[in-house]
C-alpha cells in the first residue's frame, strides 16, 4: 500500500507540473492600458512620421507642414517659413538636431532650427542618418548620400518603377539594408548592391523592418505573415503573435534600452520582452501601425495618421 501511495503521489506531482507549464504557455497576454493621446498634433492635420531631438522635442511630418511639439504646444513651419512643401512624408534627424524631410514634390528639405535649404531628388522614398552622421536617401534608382559637403549618387541594377523603398536601415557590417516593395531586401556595401533573396528560407520580400539589440547581439525581423523572426547566436526562431494580431503581420519594430521589442502590427501595437506579449488597449485604433519612435524613457510615441498617442510603461 505504501509503494502504491508513493506512486500516486509522484503521478500527482508530475501532473501538477505539466498543468502548471501548460497554464503558463496558454496565459493570456497582459494588456497595456495606460496611454496618453496627443490631440494637439492632429487637430487640423494628418501626421505621417515623428523624430525626437536631443532636447526631447517631438518633430512631426504632417499634411500641414513640419510640427514641433514641446509637450504643451505645437509650433508649425510651412512654405511661408521656407519649407519646399506643406506636405511632408517622412523625417530623419542627425546628431546636430538638423531635421531632414521628404516632401511630396520630390524635394529633400534640411532645417537647422533657423533656416531651410532644399535639394531636388526625383521620387525620394525613404530617408535615414547613419552613425557617421551621413544622410542617406533611397529613391527609385538607388541611393543618394550627403556627407555634409557633397552629394553622391549610387544607382542599382535592381532599379525599376515598381521597386518602391519601404525602409532603410544601417547594418552591423558597415552596410545598409534597403527594404523594397517588389525587389525584396537589397544590401548596399562598398558602393555596390547585392540582392538578398531569402533569410532562413523566408523570402526577403516578406521582411518589413529590422532591428538590432547591441547588448544581446540579437537581430529581430518584422515579417509579413510570419510574426517576429529572431536571430540569436546563429539560430533563427519565430514568435507567433497569435489570434490578437491579424494575419501575424508586423510592420515595424524597435528595441529599447532594456532589450524589449516594440512592434507596430496590422491591428495595433504590442511588446515582446522574451516572456510575455503585451497588446494594445481596446480603445486604441485597430488599424495598421507602421510608424513609432521611442523617447529617452523608452516610451513609444505612436503615429497613426489621424491620431498620435504615447504609451507609458507601468
Regarding beta strands 202-203 and 207-213, do their DSSP bridges make them parallel or antiparallel, or are they unpaired? unpaired
Q: Contact, 59 vs 52, CB < 8 A? A: yes
All three cell numbers of 197: 533573396
pLDDT digits (tens, 9 = 90+) for 121-170: 988 999 999 999 999 999 888 899 999 999 999 998 876 655 678 889 99
Q: Give me Rg for the CA atoms of the chain.
A: 23
All three cell numbers of 33: 492600458
d(CA 37, CA 43): 12
Decide which of 212 and 34 is more confident.
212
d(CA 217, CA 215): 6
> Residue 213's pLDDT is what?
93
d(CA 85, CA 106): 10
Torsion sign across C-alpha atoms 21, 22, 25, 30: negative
Sheet of 176-180: strands edge to edge? 165-170, 176-180, 185-189, 192-196
Q: CA triplet 3, 6, 7: central angle to 5 degrees?
A: 90
Average pLDDT over residues 62-91: 94
d(CA 116, CA 92): 15
Decide which of 238 and 276 is more confident.
238
pLDDT digits (tens, 9 = 90+) for 269-306: 888 886 656 655 555 665 688 899 999 999 999 998 88
Which among 26-30, 63-67, 165-169 has the top mean pLDDT?
63-67
Domains of the chain with CATH codes: 207-314 (2.130.10.10)
pLDDT digits (tens, 9 = 90+) for 176-207: 999 988 788 999 999 999 999 999 999 999 99
Closest to 247 measured CA to CA, from 270, 224, 268, 263? 224
> Residue 172's pLDDT is what?
86
Torsion sign across C-alpha atoms 148, 171, 90, 56: negative
Average pLDDT over residues 227-238: 94
Torsion sign across C-alpha atoms 194, 195, 200, 201: negative
Q: Which of 9-18, 157-166, 189-198, 248-257 has the lowest mean pLDDT?
A: 9-18
- State the CB neighbour count (10 A cutoff) for residue 276: 13
> Residue 12's pLDDT is what?
42
Torsion sign across C-alpha atoms 282, 287, 290, 292: negative
Q: Contact, 221 vs 207, CB < 8 A? A: yes
All three cell numbers of 111: 532645417
User: pTM of the full predicted structure?
Assistant: 0.85
Amino acid at each position: 500500500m505504501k509503494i502504491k501511495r508513493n506512486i500516486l503521489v509522484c503521478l500527482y506531482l508530475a501532473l501538477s507540473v505539466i498543468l502548471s507549464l501548460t497554464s503558463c504557455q496558454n496565459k493570456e497576454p497582459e494588456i497595456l492600458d495606460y496611454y496618453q493621446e496627443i490631440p494637439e498634433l492632429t487637430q487640423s492635420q494628418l501626421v505621417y512620421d515623428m523624430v525626437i531631438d536631443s532636447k526631447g522635442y517631438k518633430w512631426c511630418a504632417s499634411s500641414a507642414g513640419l510640427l514641433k511639439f514641446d509637450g504643451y504646444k505645437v509650433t508649425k513651419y510651412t512654405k511661408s517659413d521656407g519649407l519646399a512643401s506643406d506636405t511632408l512624408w517622412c523625417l530623419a534627424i542627425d546628431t546636430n538636431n538638423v531635421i531632414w524631410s521628404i516632401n511630396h514634390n520630390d524635394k529633400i528639405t534640411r532645417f537647422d532650427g533657423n533656416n531651410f535649404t532644399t535639394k531636388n531628388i526625383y521620387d525620394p522614398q525613404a530617408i535615414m542618418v547613419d552613425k557617421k552622421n551621413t544622410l542617406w536617401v533611397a529613391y527609385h534608382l538607388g541611393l543618394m548620400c550627403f556627407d555634409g559637403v557633397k552629394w553622391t549618387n549610387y544607382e542599382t541594377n535592381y532599379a525599376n518603377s515598381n521597386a518602391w523603398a519601404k525602409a532603410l536601415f544601417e547594418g552591423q557590417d558597415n552596410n545598409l539594408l534597403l527594404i523594397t516593395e517588389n525587389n525584396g531586401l537589397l544590401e548596399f556595401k562598398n558602393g555596390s548592391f547585392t540582392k538578398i533573396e531569402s533569410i532562413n528560407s523566408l523570402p526577403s520580400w516578406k521582411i518589413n523592418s529590422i532591428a538590432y539589440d547591441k547588448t544581446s547581439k540579437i537581430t529581430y525581423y518584422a515579417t509579413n505573415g510570419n510574426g517576429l523572426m529572431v536571430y540569436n547566436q546563429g539560430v533563427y526562431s519565430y514568435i507567433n503573435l497569435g489570434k490578437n494580431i491579424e494575419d501575424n503581420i508586423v510592420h515595424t519594430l524597435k528595441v529599447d534600452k532594456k532589450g524589449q521589442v516594440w512592434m507596430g502590427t496590422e491591428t495595433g501595437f504590442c511588446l515582446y520582452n522574451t516572456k510575455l506579449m503585451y497588446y494594445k488597449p481596446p480603445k486604441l485604433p485597430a488599424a495598421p501601425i507602421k510608424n513609432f519612435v521611442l523617447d529617452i524613457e523608452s516610451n513609444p510615441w505612436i503615429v497613426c495618421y489621424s491620431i498620435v498617442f504615447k504609451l507609458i510603461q507601468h
